[in-house]
A and B are shown apart, each in its own frame.
Chain A
């Protein structure tokens, strides 16, 4: 990149301001309000990574309890990523409809895994 690009890009910006932004749900002003939030989520995720590591060296009684604690923290982090970075906190209905099916099938998959391990038929 060099300085000579700047005027051309500025023109593109001006042209876009007229044509495209009006169609768009996120205006520049809208996005700038969220930037602080993105940075704070990033910071929180880093903090909770440290917490996950620290908690793994705490003995919660059984190994299963330690796994459960780590998965609760991981799920919290995953929810933050999905809700804020992936904009799922405010998405269109279509996306939620797709994800309801995904959730259903993933849940079914882990339920089958659980059944196979617990083996209620032959036990």
Chain B
């Protein structure tokens, strides 16, 4: 069966069918991400002072990934424009760059950013034991400045036995009264050589930086995970359109390929648009 209105406009809608289809799909996508973002807003507004972490993600790498996604949005719109101008070779190259951008984004996310978090450890200290760990928390210093208190000691988990954790401290806990530690850093600082022993009896809750670590990481991994799946989906569709299948379709009906690229591109721009909100909310604020 021939699918109607792939190139020409349907008289009642004034649009070729796939365009209406993709916009209906994107409308449902807005609700999907909207639900997750509203959960994020709710969790964040309800968090106790100091309980919502700041500066745990790698800002330069996040900025680079943002730039990569923006660049890929430009190349996909250029790929579509090239098809419209019947410049197939240009289309082929723009599409290749788009695919490579998408793959780079995913590799950075899955092979670099996420594993670093899985390897990072944090222990939340019980309220009545906070004073005991003051040298690592610097809460007197923060209170003087009117800043929210710290309740977590984090770093690299060196050693663990039945009674205590040994942590190679993050700079923020190694030197907590240094004014430089009051705000997150642009360049990520790796953990120090300073080791702290924390008794398990004093720990409310301890975990690696996994989704169950906190509401922050739960929402971070859920939203960036779902976003990553969208990037993967886009890369698969682009690859299909870039392979010889696309060339064949171009020879048969170039306008049909241009429309397919436009629809895939609309999806890709939406994925870029979601990231525009994810980046500041999770990396910067």
A residues near B (Cβ < 8 Å) are 1, 5, 8-9, 11-13, 16-17, 20-21, 23-24, 26-28, 30-32, 34-35, 38-39, 41-42, 45-46, 49-50, 52-53, 56-57, 59, 63, 66-67, 70-71, 73-74, 77-78, 81-82, 85-86, 92-95, 98-99, 101-102, 105-106, 109-110, 112-113, 116-117
Q: Which residues of B contact A13 (CB under 8 A)?
A: 86, 88, 254
On whether the beta carbons of B20 and A16 are closer than 8 Å, the reply is no
Question: Whole-angstrom distance between the alpha carbons of A67 and B285 in the complex?
Answer: 6
On whether the beta carbons of A106 and B31 are closer than 8 Å, the reply is yes
Task: Say whether B218 faces chain A, with CB atoms less than 8 Å apart.
Answer: no
Task: Say whether B66 faces chain A, with CB atoms less than 8 Å apart.
Answer: yes
- By beta carbon, the residue of chain B nearest A49 is B66
Q: How far is the CB of B155 from chain A (nearest CB, A)?
A: 24
Question: Whole-angstrom distance between the alpha carbons of A98 and B71 in the complex?
Answer: 28
On whether the beta carbons of A35 and B78 are closer than 8 Å, the reply is yes
On whether the beta carbons of B88 and A9 are closer than 8 Å, the reply is yes
Asked if A102 meets B30 with Cβ closer than 8 Å, knowing A20-B7, A53-B59, A94-B14, the reply is yes
Number of residues of chain B lying within 8 A (CB) of chain A: 59
With A49-B63, A95-B19 given, can you name 5 additional A-B contacts, CB distance below 8 Å? A42-B73, A52-B284, A59-B183, A98-B23, A110-B34
B residues near A (Cβ < 8 Å) are 7-9, 13-15, 19-20, 23-24, 27, 30-31, 34-35, 38, 41-42, 45-46, 59, 63, 66-67, 70-71, 73-74, 77-78, 81, 84-86, 88-89, 92, 183, 186, 247, 250-255, 265-266, 269-270, 272-273, 276-277, 279-281, 284-285
Q: Which residues of B contact A93 (CB under 8 A)?
A: 14
Our pick among B73, B270, B280 for the contact of A74 (Cβ within 8 Å) is B280
Asked if A66 meets B255 with Cβ closer than 8 Å, knowing A38-B78, A85-B269, the reply is no
On whether the beta carbons of A86 and B15 are closer than 8 Å, the reply is no
- By beta carbon, the residue of chain B nearest A101 is B27
